[in-house]
Structure 1
Amino acid sequence: MLHWTLYSQIRNSRKQLLCFCLFGVAVYLSLVYLSFITKFSQTVRVSFERSQNGRMLIISPNSLNEIQSYWYFHSPMPGLLFSKFLATFRPIVRHLSNTTLGGVAIDVLQRCDFFLSGQTKVAIGAKSIDPRNYCFSQLERYVKLEGVPTDVITSPNLNKSFEENNANYILPKYYRLFVNESAKTKAGINSCIKEKFETRKVLYQLLQYWIKLAHDHNILWWITSGTMLGSWRDKNMIPYDWDMDVSIFSSDETKLRALATPRSSMRDDQFNLIVRPAEYCPSDPGKRISCDNRWVNTQEDNCAFCGPLARLMRDKQVFLDIFLVHLELRLDEKQSTVDLGLRDESNDAKFLPDLNLVFPLKSSKMMNLTVPIPHNPERLLELFYGGGFRIPERRCDPYKGEWI
């Protein structure tokens, strides 16, 4: 009996020791994993070096070597993962990509585990795709963005006044209620044009300022919504419109917030970049701050917005809206096909356009300023406004001299 009791105690002790060892190993592996993730995130964030011209930020070979050392030290499969990382980022080095493009690629990596959760991991696992390798494969799509077309900032028209670039504006016929022009209708058409003349002039100045600001701070952007529609139609703003719309990647949100004008410092004789205080909320209620610097629950004035991320203003009445575009993970109805798309806050996130509809960006015109426009504006406009986007919502009544 004594022999059996001693045997039972020894066996139980062995079980306890084994459980303790397994628990220790699990804790150790968890700490190694957390250390790897932390180090990798920190390393990637500081891996950009400023180039000679002071504007572009690039990934240099030294930066890649620095990242490589962390991968080999922390990763359980350093050779496989780093070789994919290196091969993916070579195009960024080759094209001297700016910090935004690198930031978008890093955004994919850093948010990979967040994207690939729950049903998504199951869907990927069912297709025998390694989740981390999937994220690397997505990077190849982002390094092809190529940035804002160079002629946006190099165009000689950029430094011209509104009057110089828009000396002879003619209202297109599809904006007229009656196509044929006569002596009786000419005055009415001129009245429709003059109605928004001062608005167009201020919008031109806002766009001119934004083009330079975005370039100076390496912000990737493109025109969207009604501004894209006007540029597509006749290289001009919609004649009865009162604002402009551009989009930027969410990876540039921090930059824009750092450039914001405090509401208490706003002046009508200067350009003011006003930023929403909290999250996106296209409809009431939401956290908002009015032009006189009060917290409000509704849009009491043009500063109390929370749809666009920011608003570039001159006189609180005319503005250029800046919307965020986010990376989104998409699954099909069978929860099996995984892809990354874009969620555009300018359309209240009603749809997720494919990347190839937006990138690579191409050049267009807006009041004789060169602007970046999505690669396939026709398809995007159809998604935004439906098949009738080619027909204006309003027309000028030449006999009354007003828009109807």
Structure 2
Amino acid sequence: MNFENSKVYFFLRNSVLYGMLQPIWRFYYRRCRKRAMKLYACELLENMKQILDKNNILFWLDFGTLLGAYRDKNFISYDCDIDIAILYEDAERVRNLLKNSDFCLTHEYRVGKAGEVAQLSYKYKSLSIDICFYHKKNESMYCYLCSILPGVSIVNNRRCVVAVAKCVVPCEKFANINFHKLIYHAPFPTEEYLAAHYGPNFMIPDSKFDYTKDAPNITNYAIEELAGECIYNG
């Protein structure tokens, strides 16, 4: 079991100790994640690609993983996880396919009263991969991004309410991008897609970029308007 999904972590997050220990924990955790990126990033992506390609599921590199592939021709040095995206219509197929794989579901985000799945997060060895699910609409797409609010309680040690934001990106079609000797999909025009996510200066590295605050393409919802839920696994 991963510490960030354990009862100890849930307890600390909702106690006065969390504020005191948070800087130390973040430093240690980020260091561990960066090491995992160096060790397993290529292996993780290749294995995920094999599973999804074998089952004819379209997926593409997204967020920091796409930015690194396009701008740096490598994983971003300060990135700590892998991001891919899939169309919402394939969400349940993906979940079922990964049940008996080397990918372990750690948590998922669901949105609205119907509990629409917005993101599935997995561990491969000690590295995380986030899968966001997009809805296609004409020449654009949108997905929902979720974030845990400070002070929000974990219900029954496995669920908590999260804030929701809508993320909109342009996408006419998909193109190929060569990344670490393998061919992946990327939304096209890729420049416009990345500019939507990160702004017009996306080609300039910015380790302080905070997507929840700095991204130009998100609309934040009040909890009363649209709420989400984070469900932890095991």
Quick check: TM above 0.5?
yes
Match of 2:43 among 189, 205, 212: 205
Instruction: Within 5 Å, give how 1:137-176 maps onto structure 2.
Output: none
Kindly indicate whether the alpha-carbon contact (under 8 Å) linking 1:249 and 1:325 is maintained by their aligned counterparts in 2. yes
Stretches of structure 2 lacking an aligned partner (at least 5 in a row): 1-32, 147-163, 209-234
Kindly indicate whether the alpha-carbon contact (under 8 Å) linking 1:236 and 1:366 is maintained by their aligned counterparts in 2. yes
Structure 1 residues 233 and 278: CA distance shift in structure 2, 3 A: closer
Aligned mates of 1:228, 1:203 — CA distance in 2: 13
SS at match of 1:353: strand
- Offset of 1:222 from its aligned partner? 0.6
SS at match of 1:210: helix
Q: Which residue of 1 aligns with 2:70?
A: 232
- Offset of 1:377 from its aligned partner? 1.4
Query: TM-score, normalized by length of structure 1?
Result: 0.35
Instruction: Within 5 Å, give how 1:152-301 maps onto structure 2.
Output: 196=34, 198-261=36-99, 271-274=102-105, 276=107, 279-280=110-111
Query: Larger Rg: 1 or 2?
Result: 1
1:345 aligned to 2:144? Answer: yes
1:312 aligned to 2:122? Answer: yes
SS at match of 2:110: coil
Encode CA deviations 1:338-363: one digit per residue, 9 max, x unaligned.
x674212359654433341xx1x222
Aligned mates of 2:204, 2:104 — CA distance in 1: 33
Instruction: Within 5 Å, give how 1:31-42 maps onto structure 2.
Output: none
Kindly indicate whether the alpha-carbon contact (under 8 Å) linking 1:237 and 1:366 is maintained by their aligned counterparts in 2. no
SS at match of 1:343: strand
Structure 1 residues 389 and 343: CA distance shift in structure 2, 3 A: same
Aligned mates of 2:176, 2:201 — CA distance in 1: 24
Encode CA deviations 1:81-130: one digit per residue, 9 max, x unaligned.
xxxxxxxxxxxxxxxxxxxxxxxxxxxxxxxxxxxxxxxxxxxxxxxxxx
Greater length-normalized contact order (CA 8 Å, ≥ 6 residues apart): 2
Aligned mates of 1:201, 1:254 — CA distance in 2: 29
SS at match of 1:259: helix
Instruction: Within 5 Å, give how 1:51-130 maps onto structure 2.
Output: none
Aligned mates of 1:327, 1:216 — CA distance in 2: 23
Structure 1 residues 223 and 248: CA distance shift in structure 2, 3 A: same
- Offset of 1:219 from its aligned partner? 0.8
Structure 1 residues 364 and 355: CA distance shift in structure 2, 3 A: closer
Kindly indicate whether the alpha-carbon contact (under 8 Å) linking 2:170 and 2:192 is maintained by their aligned counterparts in 1. no
- Aligned-pair identity (%): 24
Q: Which residue of 2 aligns with 1:86?
A: none
Aligned mates of 2:136, 2:193 — CA distance in 1: 17
Instruction: Report how many residues are paired.
Output: 157
Q: Which residue of 1 aligns with 2:205?
A: 392
Aligned mates of 1:355, 1:196 — CA distance in 2: 30
Stretches of structure 1 lacking an aligned partner (at least 5 in a row): 1-194, 263-269, 282-286, 288-305, 329-338, 396-404
Match of 2:196 among 383, 392, 395: 383
Q: Which residue of 2 aligns with 1:370?
A: 183
Structure 1 residues 275 and 324: CA distance shift in structure 2, 3 A: farther
Kindly indicate whether the alpha-carbon contact (under 8 Å) linking 1:203 and 1:319 is maintained by their aligned counterparts in 2. no
Kindly indicate whether the alpha-carbon contact (under 8 Å) linking 2:91 and 2:117 is maintained by their aligned counterparts in 1. no
User: Between Structure 1 and Structure 2, which shows a larger proportion of helix residues?
Assistant: 1
**Corresponding letter in the other structure for 1:274:** L
SS at match of 2:86: strand
1:323 aligned to 2:132? Answer: yes
SS at match of 2:70: helix
Aligned mates of 2:207, 2:96 — CA distance in 1: 39
Query: TM-score, normalized by length of structure 2?
Result: 0.57
Structure 1 residues 276 and 197: CA distance shift in structure 2, 3 A: closer
